[in-house]
Amino acid sequence: MKCHEVDYEIFGDDMQVVEVELDPNETVVAEAGAMNWMDDGVGFEARMGDGSKDDGFVGKLLSAGKRVITGESIFMTHFTNNGSGKKRVAFAAPYPGKIVPLDMSAIGGELICQKDAFLCAAFGSELDIAFTRRLGTGFFGGEGFILQRIRGDGMAFVHAGGTVLERRLKGEVLKVDTGCIVGFTSGIDYNIERAGSLKSMFFGGEGLFLATLRGTGTVYLQSLPFSRMADRILAHAPRAGGRRKGEGSVLGQLGNLLDGD
């Protein structure tokens, strides 16, 4: 496997954008709708699959079917520098957070990540689905049975919510809220375990199950999963009719005061 060798630069803090620099005839593959801007001379084309293998129509159809299972678009967009000299194309994450640049050759050539974590990668990178091996992990892992696998030896970029932390495990065990996992390398074993006692599970506010990561490798964690942010927004959204239930009553006003409104 030999991916295109692309350069890049990341701008911003909490709403980051990555500019990928392409030499003539170099290509970067991205999720549909992730592009923000590009230089004149960069052409783009929607294709089925990542283009890492010449599998013919049937192979491309199979690849598209796998992407449907993960909830992603059937097509991926290929951006190619068709001009002379270096050209740039920029991509951004769909919600606040960080963009994590990954030199795939430095992390063993493989990363297992959340289904919606992938942003873009150098042409030649292979995107596939990864089924969780344990039934319990599939039911209670927050991401279901299906995760995403990225393979390659070039640059790949994933995005995460809030602050991103990189943890290197050397045989240790790390317990994580299931939504806070961005991805992990192939040397990490992923499982789901009960979160303490029954009282802690139901009243501790940390969910019923925690992800257990053990082994030797690298784990990428996020402080603000999109699901958690969405839950907070929905909890504070106005009820039907634009008013909270009981908003006009004394109890409703007391509730607003306690909420800080």
**pLDDT tens digits, residue range 179-209?**
899 999 988 998 877 665 555 555 555 556 7
pLDDT in tens, 26-36: 999 998 889 99
- Mean pLDDT (whole number) for 125-134: 74
| Residue 138 banded pLDDT, cuts 50, 70, 90 | very low
Of residues 95 and 53, which shows the higher confidence score?
A: 95
State which fold the 7-233 domain adopts.
Double-stranded beta-helix (3.60.160)
- pLDDT surpasses 70 at 242: no
Continuous segment of H or E residues that includes residue 104: none
Instruction: Read off the pLDDT band of 54 (50, 70, 90).
Output: low
SS3 category, 155: strand
Q: Specify the pLDDT at position 190.
A: 86
Across all residues in the chain, what is the average pLDDT? 79
Q: Number of helices and strands (H, E) in the chain?
A: 5, 17
CA dist., res. 191 & res. 178, Å (int): 10
pLDDT, residue 69, reads: 60
pTM greater than 0.75 (yes/no)? yes
Q: C-alpha angle with apex 204: 201 to 210, nearest 5 degrees? A: 55
Buried b (16+ CB within 10 A) or exposed e, 238-248: eeeeeebeebe
The larger pLDDT score, comparing residue 74 to residue 40, is at 40
Classify each residue of 77-103 as buried b or exposed e, where b means 16 or more C-beta atoms within 10 Å of its C-beta.
bbbbbeeeeebbbbbbbeeebbbbebe
Query: Who contacts 233 (Cβ-Cβ below 8 Å, separation ≥6)?
Result: none
Task: Give the dihedral sign, CA 106/112/113/115.
Answer: positive
Q: Is the pLDDT of residue 137 over 50?
A: no
Tell me, what amino acid is at 191? N
- According to the model, what pLDDT value does residue 209 have? 74
Q: Given a cut of 60, is residue 140 above it in pLDDT?
A: no
Q: What is the pLDDT of residue 216?
A: 95
The residue among 60 and 93 whose pLDDT is bigger is 93
pLDDT for the residue numbered 143? 47
Structure token pair of residue 59: 């192979």
The arithmetic mean of pLDDT across residues 234-244, rounded, is 64
Contact (CB, 8 A) for 129 and 146:
yes
Given a cut of 50, whether residue 64 has pLDDT beyond it is yes
pLDDT at position 111: 95
